[in-house]
Amino acid sequence: MKSVYIGTLIYVFLSTTIGFGQNPQLSVKDSISTFYDQFFEKLETNYIFTKDVNWSELKPLIKEEALQQNSFKNSLKICSTLFDTINGSHLILFAGEDMYQGSPKRQFTQEDFSPSFLQKYEENSGFEVKLLDHNYGYIFVPGMLLLNATQEELDANTQKIYDAIAELDEVHEIKGWIVDLRLNIGGNSNTMLAGLYHLIGDHTTGLYLDANKNVDSRSGLFKGKFYENHKVLTQAKVSLEPTPKIPVALLTGIMTNSAGEFVVLGFRGRNNTIIIGEESYGSTTANDLFELPFDTKAAITLSFGTDRTGNYTPTIVPNISIIKEANFKDLEKDRNVLEAIKFINSKYN
């Protein structure tokens, strides 16, 4: 089961340093050994590419390197080497608020982004809904990790997204919606999709394929509830009838990643929908979160994520490509937004 799709929070832009605890009754080496034994067990059992890994050869090498470290915390840095070795670009280890990943698929420099994009990123803006030019709903959906959120907190975040959209739609005559995912670098896509229920309605949002590309499970929305198979993962209390036929434009960028990509997959195949912007980062595999010793957790890749038709793509390729022409300060001069409005208007001609 994919209870949460943890996004690869691209660490070239991120760093956290809060510590965590190991069992004080164990020596450093015993703690390291306990941790890696259990982590290897989880990986061997669940990792989608486990059959491609020579575990019997790899485990002692990784463990030996980890045991050479002078602290448990330092030993966790070896997980980055482990992830690189098994091509686990979407694997993540969380320890307190520290995070360990393999090498990023892509290295970015400032030249890859427009000045407006970099300024918006630095602002660390939260979720936002507003009206553009009297008739167009604009929804900015950033990354939302929600790593240790309770069910109540997940549902509250879902409700916040839903209510903001519904309230704007109640007050204004909305011709179409623009969903901006250009700074969505990951997190909990279940909450994002359930919050966007008003635009999607009752429908399958994705299929999940095993290593042999056979359907393993499916997700979908019904009456504001987000399901995987028959399990409700989060939900919003619905106040309006959904509008699944209204035009929707999805804006993507090179940092649209993991959960951000899963939001696009949830819409892809929907009528009156277009994707505008740049090709996404490329983490369209689905993760689940596993508890490990000493207050650690691992996001382990279980399956390939697809759209509602079962179409798997390693990245999201837009229908209309627009490179480095963001204008977050004045969205009505942002070429991505202008193309979105043009698309929405075309549905009324």
Q: What is the pLDDT of residues 238-297, one digit of tens each?
A: 999 999 999 999 999 999 999 999 999 999 999 999 999 999 999 999 999 999 999 999
pLDDT of residue 20: 52
pLDDT of residue 140: 98
Backbone angles phi, psi at 276, to 5 degrees: -130, 140
pLDDT of residue 348: 76
% of the chain with per-residue pLDDT over 70: 93
The total of other beta-carbon atoms located within 10 Å of residue 11's CB is 16
- For residue 71, the 8-state DSSP code is S
pTM of the predicted model over 0.85: yes
Query: Nearest to residue 234, comparing CAs of 58, 2, 74?
Result: 2
Q: What is the pLDDT of residues 314-327, one digit of tens each?
A: 999 999 999 999 99
Which residues contact residue 10 at a Cβ distance below 8 angstroms, ignoring those fewer than 6 apart? 104, 108, 185, 255, 257, 281
Of residues 247 and 105, the one with the higher pLDDT is: 247
| Cα separation, 83 vs 67, whole angstroms | 17
pLDDT of residue 49: 97
pLDDT band at 26 (very low <50, low <70, confident <90, very high): confident
- For residue 128, the 8-state DSSP code is E
pLDDT of residue 145: 86
pLDDT of residue 22: 57
pLDDT band at 198 (very low <50, low <70, confident <90, very high): very high
Kindly tell me the number of DSSP H helices and DSSP E strands found in the chain: 10, 14
Q: Is the pLDDT of residue 62 over 70?
A: yes
Query: Nearest to residue 6, comparing CAs of 67, 66, 72, 94?
Result: 94
Q: Across residues 198-225, what is the average pLDDT?
A: 97
pLDDT band at 52 (very low <50, low <70, confident <90, very high): very high
pLDDT band at 23 (very low <50, low <70, confident <90, very high): low
Q: Locate tokens 């890749």: which residue? A: 301
Q: Is the pLDDT of residue 6 over 70?
A: no
pLDDT of residue 148: 78
pLDDT of residue 32: 96
Q: Across residues 110-130, what is the average pLDDT?
A: 94
